[in-house]
Amino acid sequence: MDMTLGELLKQHRAQQQLSQADLAEKMGIEQSYLSKLEGDRSLPSDAIFTAWLSALELSVDDVLTQLDKSYLHAKLSQLPDVQQWLREHSVQRQVHARLRTYVAVFFIAIAVPLFYLGQQALVFDDSVYEYNSPGLVMPGERPDIFYAWHRLSFPTQDEQNAFANEMIKREDRKIQLLRHYRGEQFNEPIENAPNDGFTRTYYLKKTFAEPRWQNTLMQALGLFFGVFGLVALLIELKRNKN
């Protein structure tokens, strides 16, 4: 059951262990008048209301926040202090409602592009580039020696066959799966080689897509923000309607 002003301030008087006579003396009024106020048989003037709160060491906000808004409008709105408090709180409610609406719309607004960016992998490319290297390139050799040696000219067929056998023996295939494109081919020096002349040439063999957790996370966040914003907006619209 909602409390009235008289009931609430009577409760505060009891909590402070003050008798009606003691409180009436602090307020500078007759005890009989205080009895009417606490019994809600009389409404205080603005001056008496202020004196009442001062005697109990209470602020307007301490008291009015504990009373139902409909009761304040119906019974106490003629008091200037109550009118002012109601106006201020009405403005605050409107500001807070507007802020909640803006926040809900903001979450909805960022949800769509966030989900789209994750789904289309526009920020974090999910392409994987497979590069193959057939073997080690010796110092002074052309980088594409493993694919171009058969186009070289040899004095004799025996020399050509010997070179072909050497290239077969030198085959040492390596594969690199890269997230970034490095062209149709690229060269890399060999670690722990005798000198910098030893390299590997990697050739792009194929490209395929492999989902990245960053894109999955962006899609999940987009869904979460969208649902959160929509629910918050519906709640706010329902609150404003009521």
Half-sphere exposure of 192 (CA within 13 A, CB side): 0
Predicted pLDDT at 113: 96
CA distance 70 to 155: 108
Amino acid in position 186: F
Structure tokens at 183: 């062209």
Residues 5-70, CATH architecture: Orthogonal Bundle (1.10)
Full DSSP string of 40-86: TSS---HHHHHHHHHHTT--HHHHHTTS-HHHIIIIITTSHHHHHHH
Give CA–CA dist 108/233, Å, rounded.
9
Residue 242: pLDDT band (50, 70, 90) is low
**Which whole number is the average pLDDT over 213-226?**
96
Question: What pTM was estimated for this model as a whole?
Answer: 0.60
The predicted-structure confidence for 29-48, as pLDDT tens digits, reads as follows 999 999 999 999 999 999 99
Bridge partners (DSSP) listed for residue 199: 137, 189
- pLDDT digits over 102-158, tens only? 999 999 999 999 999 999 999 999 999 999 999 888 888 888 888 888 888 888 888
Please provide residue 218's backbone torsions phi and psi, each rounded to the nearest 5 degrees. -60, -40
Q: Tens of pLDDT along 162-203?
A: 988 988 888 889 999 999 999 999 999 888 777 778 889 999
User: For residue 82, how many other CB atoms are within 10 A of its CB?
Assistant: 21
Return the pLDDT at 149.
84
Tell me: pLDDT of 1 over 60: no
State mean pLDDT over 47-70. Answer: 92
How far CA 177 is from CA of 1, 143, 147, 197, in Å, comes to 71, 20, 21, 24
The residue type found at 40 is: D
